[in-house]
Amino acid sequence: MSNSSAETPRRARHRATSLRKRLIPLAITGSVVLAGVGVHSAFATPSADAVISEVYGGGGNS
């Protein structure tokens, strides 16, 4: 009885696991790259007329 066209369940499981092992790192890398594309760093513009209105002077250490 030859089943040359049918895969054994063990071989099918191995193939699925092997595919998963290759796709997971690729998916993680792709999501990190896509997340980094939309992120812009915030730039603070220096202000000549900045005013500090409050100061916290108590830290609780004596």
Residue 58 domain flag:
no
With residues binned 3-state (H G I as helix, E B as strand, rest as coil), the percentages for the chain, rounded to 5, are: 45, 0, 55
What's the number of domains the chain is made of?
1
User: Model pTM?
Assistant: 0.41
Q: Please state, in angstroms and rounded to a whole number, the distance separating the CA atoms of residues 16 and 10.
A: 10
The residue range of the domain holding 23 is 7-41
Tokens representing 36?
A: 């980094």
- For the stretch 2-48, pLDDT in tens is 555 566 878 878 787 888 888 999 999 988 888 777 666 666 777 88
List b or e across 21-31, with b for residues whose CB sees 16 or more CB atoms inside 10 angstroms: eeeeeeeeeee
Residue 5: what pLDDT?
Answer: 56
